[in-house]
Structure 1
């Protein structure tokens, strides 16, 4: 299936060229693809993964259904792209905390966790996507950068492999419990838990 093409344009001095058209089409394609992925996450947040179809995603993105099938040949491809984008965005936020000079990084992470839960829709969609990856091994690669980012954060406080692993596996659990709670944890509550998981090297959190 092909999108409509645009013919060559003629510059005032250089004659026919396809580069500007090609670049413009590529940028438009990237915008559409991203809009469809973001729409997929919103549909999952609202209706669950079972609500994802080419038609519902296209409607959410305010694009024709043909655009969805053009960029994503199957629902699995769409779900994989959504999971990949979520994991990349989440990883980038953690990596930014790791790279930031100075400051109380456990406090910064606690504030980020509280922010993620308010509102919780996007996080809920991410957990649904991760659960789908349990049954679809080809989707699990998207989570590797995320696990590496969490491990890098933990290694700022400890070089013990077991504690690094404990933190990386506990982080998602804390957020999941936050989703299940009647009242989401505050940044202060998250900070207290993070200091238990990652105490200062000298022993005082």
Structure 2
């Protein structure tokens, strides 16, 4: 008889933890990492002041959970894009549209992710989640090239373009993103007879 009650409590506890993580991301987006405290996160989640401290031992645990959740969600979306990509134009367009959507429709979430990204640069224990994101971007690139340098460039380009997209009054469009992705991943056709082609 006690199992359903226990399971129900466990499920309720997990829901509350997820709500606190989402609240943490909103606080980071609005106030930066420095604005995160048990009290501010609990207030953001509309929970008692002690709730965050109950579910997370310290602020570091809360930030780790938020970073992991954010990066893993993004990595999974990237893996889905990679799974559908076949090395053609449709895959590039899908990624470009996703990048434009994030910058335009989800700038607060993106800002929070970069705040946490920078925190991972200072805290090695936070880096596995960011590495999973970068690995997922690299997997997408491998649908288009086996050149290790191009793959590395794409990982840097995607991060850089998303970050720069937050700095412009007019965010880049899907067309803007696609043009850069195409330049990085699609090797230009060589013109027969050209000096460069002959040299190769």
Superposition TM-score, scaled by structure 2 size: 0.89
What is the deviation of 1:176?
0.9
1:176 aligns with 2:163: yes
What is the deviation of 1:65?
2.1
C-alpha contact 1:110 1:188 (8 A) present in aligned 2: yes
Distance 1:185 1:76 in 2: 34
Residue in 2 that maps onto 1:7: none
C-alpha contact 1:158 1:201 (8 A) present in aligned 2: no
C-alpha contact 2:85 2:143 (8 A) present in aligned 1: no
1:84 aligns with 2:68: yes
What is the deviation of 1:202?
6.3
Q: Determine which of 166, 179, 192 is the counterpart of 2:179.
A: 192
Residue in 2 that maps onto 1:32: 16
C-alpha contact 1:110 1:187 (8 A) present in aligned 2: yes
Q: Which moved more, 1:51-60 or 1:92-101?
A: 92-101
Residue in 2 that maps onto 1:145: 132
Residue in 2 that maps onto 1:43: 27
Q: Cα RMSD (Å) of the superposition?
A: 1.7
Superposition TM-score, scaled by structure 1 size: 0.87
Q: Which runs of 4+ in 1 moved over 4 A?
A: 200-203
What is the deviation of 1:153?
0.1
What is the deviation of 1:49?
1.2
3-state DSSP of counterpart to 2:92: helix
C-alpha contact 1:157 1:200 (8 A) present in aligned 2: no
Distance 2:9 2:187 in 1: 51
More helix by share: 2
Matches within 5 A, 1:9-28: 17-28=1-12
Residue in 1 that maps onto 2:194: none
Unaligned runs of 5+ in 2: 191-200
Matches within 5 A, 1:19-168: 19-100=3-84, 104-119=90-105, 120-168=107-155
Is the alpha carbon distance of 1:48 and 1:79 closer, same or farther for their aligned partners in structure 2, counting shifts above 3 Å?
Answer: same
Is the alpha carbon distance of 1:101 and 1:116 closer, same or farther for their aligned partners in structure 2, counting shifts above 3 Å?
Answer: closer
Unaligned runs of 5+ in 1: 1-16
Aligned residues: 188
Distance 1:101 1:21 in 2: 45
Higher relative contact order (CA 8 A, sep 6+): 2
